[in-house]
Every structure is written in structure tokens, then in C-alpha cells.
């Protein structure tokens, strides 16, 4: 695993504190509190991946806690399993239930997703309460066998060491995962799902993965409680526990240290307020509101900002290496010029009585810049959304690079070489400029989940290679000096260029540009002409939607004209420019925006 100097010191101090605490603290109640801090951290660390990084709200993780607890209880008390194996099985069973919840739950979003997870938690609570023959109901399951060393069950001090060791492992592995391509993919899904799909990230896969990670850590936390108490019943499992876990994440903040901060503060507060249940619930509600409105990035974020003010050295960013070579398209993506690349036949899409794409036939040729023009409502963006898989056509055929892509999901279409930008910017605005481009490289990074989770050398080498290539792309587009800046803080024109850089990082054979000059000033528009020409010279075919006719006529090899969803003309710029019907209906319009109704209908 990769350690920075400051992080290595922090981990060493944490290990020393965990090692010394049970020696210095002998009071059983205080040891129990330390144990609960570790348990709550373990549950929250995984939940933070789901909530803080992937943006999925869950209010049912008490159910997954129950799955882990009852798995350990049943396997040891009823089936005689080795308690260590039962502990591992508890995490695995919780992960399986995480998949079972995620598959149907992630078909909905926002409040509906939270309601589905609440439903799961309630069902689990009722099952363990009412199914007495298996789960013991209110009486619960006695005789849960705890792990042992040398034939002796763990004592209070050893439980603190055990849960502390698990917490250290959880921190290191989750930190390694989130600092690499998986962490960027989670954040991309959180910020802009459509954009994440367009650069090769499977939104559904990463949502399920985040659910599984959160389920495993929550299940292990449940197993720890059952085995440490040697008893479990339905009183341990309730909706308040789900709220408590979520509060730890929201109050602590989404940083990798947030769950630790939240677990320490809220576990101590919970122990202090245990004798006053009414005040306890009121305090949790007040803290939740405070966390949501006063500290949107949690206590860890507030402490981080304070630390950087007090110690300016903490705010310094590492010096990035200057690119030594220019960026080039991967050899496997370069195609011979003047060959058919994409063909559509009778592509049709209707929204009720509105037909934005009406039997479009089109052929794009490698090495050329094609432009798609027409007034607002002509169906240009609809056609691009169909080509990139965001909107399925009602009928018709589309072949790209020799494959049919009709009804293919966007991330798969990206994987065979189609990249795009959007009419309305869809950057990952809270991520750095460099990380935005690195998300574009996601599909080319081959390190698997376990390599990234464990921070193995191959994952670290690939991460450095991705950084170097992303810097080459930024240099190619004149954004190298902005690499460390937050994407959302850039001026509009540079944000447009960054979205183009992210699309180039996918190594597209065909690049779809949806009004790249929208909102640019005349100088930026003129610079864009040179940029598009450079992209074409790299071997990338371009399909461009644009209202700036000067740009279209200056850069295009071939122009296609749409009117109310129908193709009315196509040919070389001069031919189209002199077409009487085109002159009458289209040239001279300079509307910067196009209604994107179909995109909202598909993803809204």
C-alpha cells in the first residue's frame, strides 16, 4: 500500500493508541465504549463509500447489521462452526444480501431508494422478531461462541485490540480503493451519472459494488456485537440503528477520515446520553440538521480546513511531473482514413406526437470532420443521444466500427470507441481537473478490484501511468497549469475544454461534440477551430453539432442538415452553403441552446 509521510505517521499513532488503550484503561465500561467506537467505525466506513462517495441514500443498514449478527450466532450456537470462520461468513452473507437489495433498489433514485432500504430494514426486523423457531424472537439466541486464542475466549482488552486491528485494515483498504480508479468512478456516479456512462463507467455496476462494500463492513460489525455479547436478539435491530449509522457518516463527513471522527464523537455522546433516551433522540436530530446545513462536508471537512489554515504546509499540493512526450491516440484505436465508420439506417425516435428523429440515414467516414446543423428543435442532440446510447431508438439500425450498437448501454459504446461531450456541461465539478481526465481513462485501466483494494504494486504503477497520460492530454489542450484546480471553479470556456479533454481520454475513434462553442467568446471560438483540427489530425473522426456557421464552414469536411427530425441536405460545406432550401431555412440562425427534452425524459 502507498503511504504518504503524514498518513504513515497518523497510522502509526493510531496503532500505538489502540495497543496502549487497553493497557492504560482497565475499567470494563470504558473498554466497552472503545470496542463500540471500533464497531461503529467499521459499519460507517463502508456506508461512507455508499453514501458519501456514491451518493446513494440508505436507511436500512440495520438490516445488514442483523444479517451479520444472526449469521455468526446461528453458525456458532446452532451449527457448531469455528467462530473465526463464522465471523468471515457473516461478512460474506451480508455482502450477498447487499447484492440482493441493490439489484432492485437501484432501479429507483433519491427518496424512493431510501424508502426501499427502509423497507428492507423493517422486513429483517420483523423476521427476526416473529420467526422464533429460527431466530428466537425477543428471547434471542444464547450461547453465541466468540473467537478464541489458545482455547480462551477474547477478554475485554483483546476485543479492543481485535476491533482496532479490523478498523486499521478497513481504513487502509478503503483508502487505497478510494484513491484510485474505483474512488473516482464512485464520485463520478455521484456527480453526473450520464457523463460517467459516457466515459465508460458502468453506473449500475458501481452502485451495486458500493452497496456490497457497505453491506460487508456492516455485517462484520453485527457479527462483532453478537460474538462479543455471546447473545443477540431483535432489540439490537431497529430503525434507530440505521439512523445512527447514517448520522455517523453525515456528521463525520465523506472524507476517508470522516467515519472515524463521526464514530468517536457520536459513540461517546451515545454513551453519555444513554440514561436519557428522549434527550438522546433530540440530540441526534439536532446533530443531523446541523451536519446537513452547517457542515455539508462534515466535521472532518471543517477540521481539515482549520488544520490547513493553522499549518499552511498541509495545503500544499504535490508537484506534478511535466509531460516528456506529446499525447497520441492509442495505436489500436487508429483506423485507416476514408473508410466507413458509422452508418445509420432509418433511425426513428418519437416522444408522443413529437418526432425529433425521423428515419435518418447517415454515414460517417474515418478521418473526417462531419457537422450536424439545423435550428433548435431539429433533432440534432436527440440523434447524438441515440448514437451514444443515452436514448434508445424506436426503430432503425446503427453500426459503429462493424458492430450494431442499437440498445447497447453507453459505457459499452464508449468501450468500442465512441466518446462525446454535452450541450449542457456535465463535468465532475467537485473533482480536480486532473481527476476528471483520469476518469476518462477508466476503461483503459486494467487493475482489478482486489489489486486496488490492497494497493498492490500493479495498481500503483497503473495509477502513475494514468496520471502521466492525463497530464499529456491537459498539455495537448493547454490546461496543464490548471491540473490541480477544482473543475467547477474554472471559467466557462476552460470547463468546455476540460470536458473535451475528458472525452479524449477515452481514446475515441469517433468523437461527438454537442455545441462545443456554446458560450465561448470569439477568441475562444477561433482557438476551438484549431483544437478540432488537431484532434482530427490525431486520427479521430469528429461529428460536430454547432450553430456558429463560421466555425462549421471553416472546419467541416462534410455537413448534414436536419429540419424537424428529417435530413434535408448533406454534402461538402460549399454545396450545403449554396443549397437554396438550406439558405432559406437554416443559415444565419445563431441560437446557442437546444431543448434537450429527450435527455431529461430518459434520465430525469
Q: Residue 293 falls within a domain, yes or no?
A: no
In the listed set 478, 507, 536, which residue is the last one of a domain according to the structure?
Answer: 507
Q: Residue 425 falls within a domain, yes or no?
A: no
CA 57 to each of CA 49, 190, 201, 207: distance values in angstroms, whole numbers, following the listed order: 11, 11, 20, 11
pLDDT attached to residue 592:
38
> How far, in Å, CA of 232 to CA of 90, rounded?
14
Confidence grade of residue 591 (pLDDT, cut at 50, 70, 90): very low
In DSSP notation, 330-342 reads -GGG---TTSEEE
> How far, in Å, CA of 115 to CA of 179, rounded?
31
Q: Residue 14 falls within a domain, yes or no?
A: no
How far is C-alpha 394 from the chain's CA centre? 30
- Output the nine-digit C-alpha cell for 348: 426513428
User: Do 44 and 176 have their domain in common?
Assistant: yes
Are the CB atoms for 250 and 292 separated by under 8 Å?
yes
Residue 602, pLDDT > 50, answer: no
Residue 585, pLDDT > 80, answer: no
| Coil, helix or strand at residue 350 | strand
> How far, in Å, CA of 171 to CA of 166, rounded?
9
User: Do 572 and 494 have their domain in common?
Assistant: no
Comparing 390 with 313, the larger pLDDT belongs to 390
User: Do 368 and 503 have their domain in common?
Assistant: no
- Mean residue pLDDT across the chain: 89
> How far, in Å, CA of 442 to CA of 201, rounded?
7
CA 322 to each of CA 180, 186, 371, 468, 471: distance values in angstroms, whole numbers, following the listed order: 21, 28, 35, 8, 8
- Mean per-residue pLDDT for 446-465? 94
- Output the nine-digit C-alpha cell for 378: 431539429
Residue 531 backbone dihedrals phi, psi, to 5 degrees = -65, -45
Q: Residue 318 falls within a domain, yes or no?
A: no
Q: Residue 47 falls within a domain, yes or no?
A: yes
Least-confidence region, from 134-143, 306-315, 442-451: 306-315
User: Do 486 and 525 have their domain in common?
Assistant: no
Q: Give residue for cell 454515414.
A: 363
Comparing 295 with 99, the larger pLDDT belongs to 99
Least-confidence region, from 61-70, 196-205, 566-575: 566-575
User: Do 441 and 537 have their domain in common?
Assistant: no
Q: Residue 286 falls within a domain, yes or no?
A: no
Q: Residue 410 falls within a domain, yes or no?
A: yes
Burial class (CB in 10 A: 0-12, 13-18, 19+), 13: exposed
In DSSP notation, 470-489 reads HHHHHHHTT-GGGTTSBGGG
User: Do 483 and 513 have their domain in common?
Assistant: no
The model's pTM: 0.90
Phi/psi region, residue 321 (left: phi>0; alpha: psi -120 to 50; beta: rest), is beta
Least-confidence region, from 264-273, 276-285, 583-592: 583-592
Are the CB atoms for 473 and 327 separated by under 8 Å?
yes
User: Do 491 and 521 have their domain in common?
Assistant: no
- Mean per-residue pLDDT for 197-202? 95
User: Do 503 and 524 have their domain in common?
Assistant: no
In the listed set 207, 238, 269, which residue is the last one of a domain according to the structure?
Answer: 238
The answer for residues whose C-beta is within 8 angstroms of residue 400's C-beta and 6 or more apart is: 341, 342, 387, 413, 416, 417, 418, 510
Are the CB atoms for 421 and 504 separated by under 8 Å?
no
CATH number, residue 532: 3.40.50.300
pLDDT tens digits for range 416-442: 999 999 989 999 999 999 999 999 999
Work out how many domains the chain is built from and give that number: 3
Q: Is the dihedral of CA 60, 61, 64, 69 positive or negative?
A: negative
Helical ranges in 400-521 per DSSP H: 410-415, 433-440, 449-454, 457-476, 492-505
The number of residues in the chain equals 604
Q: Is the dihedral of CA 472, 478, 480, 483 positive or negative?
A: negative
> How far, in Å, CA of 42 to CA of 555, rounded?
56
Are the CB atoms for 437 and 466 separated by under 8 Å?
no
> How far, in Å, CA of 171 to CA of 191, rounded?
24
Residue 221, pLDDT > 90, answer: yes
| CA triple 377-379-383, angle to 5 deg | 160
Q: Residue 203 falls within a domain, yes or no?
A: yes
User: Do 532 and 397 have their domain in common?
Assistant: yes
User: Do 451 and 577 have their domain in common?
Assistant: no
What percent of the chain is predicted at pLDDT more than 70?
A: 96
The torsion defined by the Cα of 88, 89, 90 and 95, in degrees rounded to 10, comes to 100
pLDDT attached to residue 601:
43
> How far, in Å, CA of 3 to CA of 8, rounded?
6
Domain with 536, as residue range(s), is 336-417+508-603
Burial class (CB in 10 A: 0-12, 13-18, 19+), 234: buried
Comparing 359 with 3, the larger pLDDT belongs to 359
User: Do 115 and 161 have their domain in common?
Assistant: yes
pLDDT tens digits for range 5-22: 778 888 999 999 999 998
In the listed set 173, 204, 238, which residue is the last one of a domain according to the structure?
Answer: 238
pLDDT attached to residue 520:
87
Residue 146, pLDDT > 60, answer: yes
User: Do 158 and 171 have their domain in common?
Assistant: yes
pLDDT attached to residue 586:
54
Least Cα distance to 77 among 135, 27, 28 occurs for: 135
- Mean per-residue pLDDT for 570-595? 67
Amino acid at each position: 500500500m502507498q503511504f504518504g509521510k503524514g498518513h504513515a505517521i497518523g497510522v502509526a499513532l493510531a496503532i500505538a493508541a489502540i495497543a496502549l488503550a487497553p493497557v492504560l484503561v482497565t475499567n470494563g465500561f470504558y473498554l466497552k465504549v472503545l470496542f463500540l467506537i471500533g464497531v461503529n467505525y467499521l459499519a460507517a466506513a463502508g456506508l461512507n463509500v455508499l453514501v458519501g462517495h456514491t451518493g446513494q441514500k440508505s436507511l436500512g443498514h440495520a438490516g445488514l447489521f442483523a444479517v451479520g449478527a444472526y449469521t455468526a450466532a446461528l453458525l456458532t450456537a446452532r451449527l457448531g462452526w469455528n467462530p473465526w470462520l463464522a465471523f468471515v461468513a457473516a461478512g460474506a452473507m451480508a455482502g450477498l444480501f447487499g447484492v440482493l437489495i441493490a439489484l432492485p433498489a437501484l432501479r429507483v433514485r433519491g427518496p424512493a431508494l431510501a424508502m426501499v432500504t427502509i423497507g428492507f430494514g423493517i422486513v429483517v426486523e420483523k423476521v427476526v422478531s416473529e420467526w422464533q423457531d429460527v431466530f428466537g424472537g425477543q428471547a434471542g439466541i444464547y450461547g453465541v461462541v466468540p473467537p478464541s486464542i489458545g482455547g480462551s475466549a477474547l477478554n475485554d482488552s483483546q476485543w479492543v485490540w481485535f476491533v482496532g486491528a479490523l478498523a486499521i485494515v478497513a481504513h487502509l483498504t478503503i483508502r487505497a480503493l478510494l484513491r484510485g480508479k474505483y474512488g473516482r468512478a464512485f464520485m463520478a456516479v455521484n456527480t453526473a451519472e450520464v457523463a460517467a456512462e459516457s466515459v465508460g463507467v458502468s453506473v449500475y455496476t458501481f452502485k451495486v459494488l458500493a452497496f456490497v462494500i457497505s453491506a460487508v463492513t456492516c455485517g462484520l460489525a453485527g457479527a462483532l456485537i453478537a460474538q462479543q455479547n455471546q447473545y443477540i436478539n431483535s432489540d439490537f435491530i431497529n430503525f434507530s440503528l440505521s439512523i445512527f449509522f447514517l448520522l455517523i457518516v453525515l456528521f463525520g463527513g465523506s472524507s476517508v477520515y470522516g467515519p472515524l471522527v463521526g464514530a468517536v464523537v457520536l459513540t461517546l455522546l451515545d454513551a453519555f446520553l444513554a440514561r436519557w433516551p428522549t434527550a438522546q433522540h433530540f440530540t441526534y436530530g439536532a446533530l443531523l440538521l446541523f451536519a446537513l446545513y452547517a457542515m455539508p462536508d462534515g466535521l472532518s471537512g471543517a477540521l481539515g480546513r482549520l488544520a490547513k489554515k493553522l499549518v499552511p504546509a498541509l495545503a500544499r499540493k504535490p508537484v506534478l511531473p511535466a509531460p516528456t512526450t506529446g499525447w497520441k491516440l492509442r495505436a489500436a484505436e487508429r483506423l485507416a482514413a476514408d473508410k466507413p465508420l458509422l452508418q445509420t439506417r432509418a433511425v426513428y425516435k418519437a416522444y408522443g406526437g413529437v418526432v425529433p428523429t425521423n428515419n435518418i440515414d447517415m454515414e460517417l467516414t474515418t478521418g473526417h470532420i462531419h457537422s450536424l446543423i439545423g435550428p433548435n428543435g431539429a433533432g440534432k442532440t436527440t440523434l447524438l443521444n441515440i448514437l451514444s446510447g443515452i436514448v434508445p431508438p424506436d426503430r432503425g439500425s446503427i453500426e459503429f466500427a462493424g458492430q450494431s450498437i442499437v440498445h447497447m448501454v453507453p459505457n459499452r459504446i464508449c468501450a468500442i470507441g465512441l466518446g462525446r461531450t454535452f450541450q449542457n456541461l456535465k463535468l465532475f465539478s467537485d473533482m480536480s481537473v486532473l481527476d476528471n481526465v483520469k476518469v476518462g481513462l477508466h476503461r483503459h485501466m486494467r487493475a482489478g478490484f482486489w489489486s486496488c483494494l490492497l494497493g498492490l504494486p500493479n495498481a500503483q504503477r497503473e495509477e502513475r501511468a494514468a496520471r502521466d497520460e492525463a497530464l499529456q492530454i491537459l498539455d495537448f489542450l493547454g490546461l496543464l497549469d490548471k491540473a490541480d484546480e477544482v473543475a467547477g471553479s474554472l471559467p466557462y470556456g476552460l470547463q468546455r475544454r476540460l470536458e473535451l479533454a475528458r472525452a479524449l481520454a477515452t481514446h475515441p475513434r469517433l468523437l461527438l461534440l454537442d455545441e462545443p462553442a456554446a458560450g465561448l467568446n470569439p477568441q475562444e471560438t477561433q482557438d476551438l477551430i484549431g483544437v478540432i483540427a488537431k484532434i482530427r489530425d490525431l486520427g479521430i473522426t469528429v461529428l460536430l453539432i454547432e450553430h456558429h456557421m463560421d466555425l462549421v464552414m471553416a472546419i467541416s469536411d462534410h455537413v448534414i442538415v436536419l429540419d424537424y427530425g428529417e435530413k434535408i441536405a448533406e454534402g461538402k460545406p460549399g454545396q450545403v452553403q449554396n443549397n437554396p432550401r438550406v439558405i432559406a431555412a437554416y443559415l444565419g440562425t445563431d441560437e446557442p441552446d437546444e431543448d434537450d427534452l429527450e435527455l431529461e425524459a430518459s434520465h430525469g
